[in-house]
Amino acid sequence: MELTVHIPDEVVPQLQAAGGDMSRRALEAFALEEFKSGHITKPELRRMLGFETRYKLDGFFKAHQFYDGYTVEEIKEQVAVMKNLGF
């Protein structure tokens, strides 16, 4: 699927100054938001971005400072459970 986005001319210079391929940056931002929202899965995100391995996807997450794991609250809950079990 092709998607066209209109960007006002006065904004283009600032976006270009950030460097990189604007189309790729837009795709990555859109894809990551769709993943965060639960609309696509990790394998779908990986395919959408054209990554052949999950390791490339892990690098993408790191580059975008996205951690797909436990929240601090979930870790605290797990620690409490382990303590209650005697660990």
Percentage of the chain lying above the pLDDT 90 cut:
74
Q: pLDDT-based confidence at 7, cuts 50/70/90?
A: very high
Domain positions in the chain: 12-84
Convert the chain into a string of H (helix), E (strand) and C (coil).
Answer: CCCCCCCCCCCHHHHHHCCCCHHHHHHHHHHHHHHHCCCCCHHHHHHHHCCCCHHHHHHHHHHCCCCCCCCHHHHHHHHHHHHHCCC
pLDDT in tens, 24-65: 999 999 999 999 999 999 999 999 999 999 899 999 999 999
Confidence (pLDDT) at 74: 74
Which amino acid is residue 38, in one-letter code?
G
pTM for this structure?
Answer: 0.74
Higher pLDDT residue, 9 or 75?
9
